[in-house]
Amino acid sequence: MSIIRHDWTKQEILDIYNLPLMDLLYKAATIHREYHDPNVVQVSTLLSIKTGGCPEDCGYCPQAARYHTDIEGNDLMSVQQVKAQALRAKASGSSRVCMGAAWRNVKDGPEFDNVLEMVRTINKLEMEVCCTLGMITENQAQRLAEAGLYAYNHNLDTSEEYYKEVISTRGYEDRLQTIDNVRKTNVTVCSGGIIGMGEEVEDRAGMLVALAKLSPQPESVPINSLVAVEGTPMEEEKPVSMWDMIRMVATTRIVMPKTQVRLSAGRTEMSREGQAMCFFAGANSIFAGDKLLTTPNPDVNEDMEMFKLLGLNPQKPFVKKAQPETIEAADSKFESLGEKPKWSRPGHSIERNEIAKEKAKGIAADK
């Protein structure tokens, strides 16, 4: 089998990315078959359990409170609402539910206690549970693990160099620290990024260097194509080409052979033929449902039609790792510490983010 390397250089990854396409696809598909069943793709459902009002300034995100994007915010969903959505997702073929909350970081208290109960509830439905809640401490990660969390998502987004052109309200090191906190538990790591934010190919390679350097490498790496939402600083960015997505998926597969590569946001703009090439190149997970948090996504019935056409089968839960045990709150070894960690605020400003913020202020003043 291919050796798992943690010492990839940016130039090595660029050389792979820029291979003649047929050579790149052959190499990626060969490695994919060494570690994965090429005819099995995991179907996951992404559920926004708390939408909008985020204090961060991520340039791609319509949930940032400082931008005007017509996103309808909502408070934290109830455990029963989440259970109903999870059952619906399971019935449609999903084996994983990913819950996202528009928070900068987790804060100990009743809302986090409710999220822990959501994790317990979904794990008992024999579905994998993933959360993306912002930055978390080691104790918070341990509490999630006890509840039965299978995976925690915290994307690096892009290279460390280009990150400064995307977000100014949190540091790259905080993202790495959150991943490190998760690694101190039995929870798997899901971390990837977005292409099409105005970055160079070198930045895509830089992100893969950072992810591959992690030991162990992330069990899941989502590759997102930017969905440019009106009102965000990136509203004018042009969609990346299908060829860019195929090359990024294939390169990720080669650099991280054991990882599940997740074909994520932007699939509404991808043809079935393009998605088929991504699956051939090593993508073995998709998100189903009509929305990914707040952006459009193909209908699950369309995806099932595509699976049938391509001869793909949905992956069953807990194939890659055994189902975690759920420990009830009353038996938990880890309690709320009321932590107030000082996550960094780099302090620089990003021109296009500031322009979008001022534009939002003008719209609000006119109402």
Give the integer Cα–Cα distance in Å for 237 and 118.
Answer: 36
pLDDT band for position 266 (cuts 50, 70, 90): confident
Binding-site residues sit at 54, 58, 61, 98, 130, 190, 262
Phi first, then psi, for residue 188 (nearest 5°) are -80, 160
Q: Are 272 and 303 in contact (CB under 8 A)?
A: no
pLDDT over 80 (residue 43): yes
Question: Which runs of consecutive H residues, i.e. helices, occur in 131-241?
Answer: 138-147, 160-163, 172-183, 201-213
pLDDT over 60 (residue 211): yes
**Which CATH number applies to 10-318+340-366?**
3.20.20.70
Binding-site residues for [2Fe-2S] cluster sit at 98, 130, 190, 262
Would residue 262 show up in a list of annotated catalytic residues for this protein? yes
Q: Which of 96, 120, 130, 253 is catalytic?
A: 130
Single pTM value for the model: 0.93
Binding-site residues for [4Fe-4S] cluster sit at 54, 58, 61
Least confident of 107-121, 165-179, 278-292: 278-292
Q: Which residues contact 67 (CB under 8 A, 6 or more apart)?
A: 61, 231, 232, 233, 356, 357, 360
Phi first, then psi, for residue 290 (nearest 5°) are -80, -5
pLDDT over 60 (residue 12): yes
Instruction: State the pairing for strand pair 188-190/313-314.
Output: unpaired
Q: What is the pLDDT of residue 300?
A: 76
Who has greater pLDDT, 340 or 317? 317
Would residue 131 show up in a list of annotated catalytic residues for this protein? no
The percent of residues above 90 in pLDDT, for the chain, comes to 69
List beta partners, residue 222: 262
Q: What is the pLDDT of residue 25?
A: 98
Q: What is the pLDDT of residue 297?
A: 55
- Residue bearing tokens 């719209």: 363
Q: What is the pLDDT of residue 292?
A: 46
Give the integer Cα–Cα distance in Å for 347 and 173.
Answer: 14
Q: What is the mean pLDDT of residues 135-164?
A: 97
Q: Mean pLDDT in the chain?
A: 91
Question: In degrees, to the nearest 5, what angle opens at C-alpha 156 toward C-alphas 155 and 162?
Answer: 140
Q: Which residues contact 184 (CB under 8 A, 6 or more apart)?
A: 138, 141, 142
Q: What is the pLDDT of residue 320?
A: 92
Would residue 58 show up in a list of annotated catalytic residues for this protein? yes
Q: What is the pLDDT of residue 150?
A: 98
Q: Which of 58, 96, 170, 175 is catalytic?
A: 58
Alpha carbon 266 to its chain's center: 13
Domain boundaries, the chain: 10-318+340-366
Q: Are 333 and 185 in contact (CB under 8 A)?
A: no
Who has greater pLDDT, 355 or 283? 283
End-to-end CA, the chain:
61
pLDDT over 60 (residue 295): no
Q: Are 195 and 244 in contact (CB under 8 A)?
A: yes
